[in-house]
C-alpha cells in the first residue's frame, strides 16, 4: 500500500496560514533538504484548491525562468497532482486533475493503487481530513520559533482527538524543529493518581 506524507510549516503558536509572510527568514539548507526529502521523491501530490493555486501561480514560471530552482520546479511539474475542491476547477499546470467524489474515499482508493510516495505540502483542510480518517502515514511539522498571533491553526479547537507518536526530531541551526509524527494507538485512560507516581518523591 502506498504511503502518504504531509509536510507543514507551523509557527510556535500553531499557525499554518500564509507561511510566506513569516517562514522565509528560517529557510536554510537544512529545511531545504527536509522539504526535498518528501516533495522531491513523491510521484503524486495532493492539494486543496488554495494551496494548489499558490503552487500553480509560482512554480511553472520558476521552471520557465531557468533559475537555480528550475530543476525542483520541473520535478513538481512532472508529478501527478490531484486537487480537491467542491467546485469545478480549471487546472492549467501540467499533470493536474481534480479529485472525484468524496475526498477520503478517493484517497483510500489511491493508496491501494500501484505507485510511489504520495505527498502534501500545506493544504490544511486535506491534511485534517486524512489525519482524522487514519490515512496519513507521517505528518512532518517544521515548527518555527516565531509567534504569529493570528491566522488559521493546524488543529481546530473543536477537532477530534487524534493520538500520534513521535518518529523523529531534529533541531535546525535556525531553531526550527523538524518533527515527524505517525499514527498511534489510543493511550490507556489515566489521571492524576497514575501521574503522581512519576513525580519526584521525598
DSSP 71-111: HHHHHHHHSEEEEE-SS-----STTEEE--S-HHHHHHHHH
**pLDDT at residue 185, as a whole number:** 86
**pLDDT at residue 12, as a whole number:** 96
Q: What cell numbers appear for 53 in the block?
A: 493555486
d(CA 114, CA 10): 32
**pLDDT at residue 73, as a whole number:** 92
In the chain, the number of structural domains is 1
Beta bridge partners of 181: 139, 166
For residue 12, give its domain range: 4-198
pLDDT tens, N- to C-terminus, the chain (202 residues)? 899 999 999 999 999 999 999 999 999 999 999 998 888 889 999 999 999 999 999 999 999 999 999 999 999 999 999 999 988 888 999 999 999 889 999 999 999 999 999 999 989 999 999 999 999 999 999 999 999 999 999 998 888 889 999 999 999 999 999 999 999 988 888 888 888 888 887 7
Cα–Cα–Cα angle for 48, 2, 16, nearest 5°? Answer: 30
Q: What cell numbers appear for 40 in the block?
A: 522531491
CATH number of the domain residue 18 falls in? 3.40.430.10
**pLDDT at residue 41, as a whole number:** 87
**pLDDT at residue 22, as a whole number:** 96
**pLDDT at residue 200, as a whole number:** 86
d(CA 157, CA 155): 7
Amino acid at each position: 500500500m502506498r504511503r502518504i506524507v504531509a509536510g507543514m510549516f507551523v509557527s510556535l503558536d500553531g499557525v499554518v496560514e500564509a507561511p510566506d509572510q513569516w517562514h522565509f527568514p528560517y529557510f536554510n539548507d537544512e529545511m531545504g533538504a527536509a522539504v526535498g526529502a518528501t516533495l522531491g521523491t513523491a510521484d503524486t501530490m495532493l492539494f486543496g484548491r488554495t494551496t494548489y493555486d499558490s503552487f500553480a501561480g509560482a512554480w511553472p514560471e520558476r521552471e520557465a525562468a531557468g533559475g537555480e530552482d528550475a530543476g525542483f520546479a520541473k520535478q513538481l511539474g512532472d508529478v501527478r497532482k490531484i486537487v480537491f475542491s467542491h467546485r469545478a476547477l480549471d487546472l492549467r499546470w501540467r499533470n493536474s486533475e481534480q479529485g472525484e467524489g468524496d475526498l477520503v474515499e478517493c484517497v483510500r482508493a489511491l493508496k491501494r493503487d500501484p505507485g510511489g510516495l504520495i505527498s502534501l505540502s500545506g493544504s490544511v483542510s486535506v491534511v485534517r481530513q486524512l489525519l482524522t480518517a487514519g490515512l496519513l502515514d507521517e505528518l512532518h511539522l517544521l515548527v518555527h520559533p516565531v509567534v504569529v498571533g493570528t491566522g488559521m491553526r493546524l488543529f481546530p479547537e473543536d477537532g477530534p482527538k487524534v493520538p500520534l507518536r513521535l518518529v523523529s526530531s531534529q533541531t535546525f541551526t535556525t531553531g526550527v524543529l523538524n518533527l515527524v509524527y505517525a499514527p498511534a494507538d489510543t493511550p490507556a485512560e489515566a489521571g492524576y493518581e497514575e501521574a503522581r507516581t512519576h513525580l519526584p518523591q521525598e
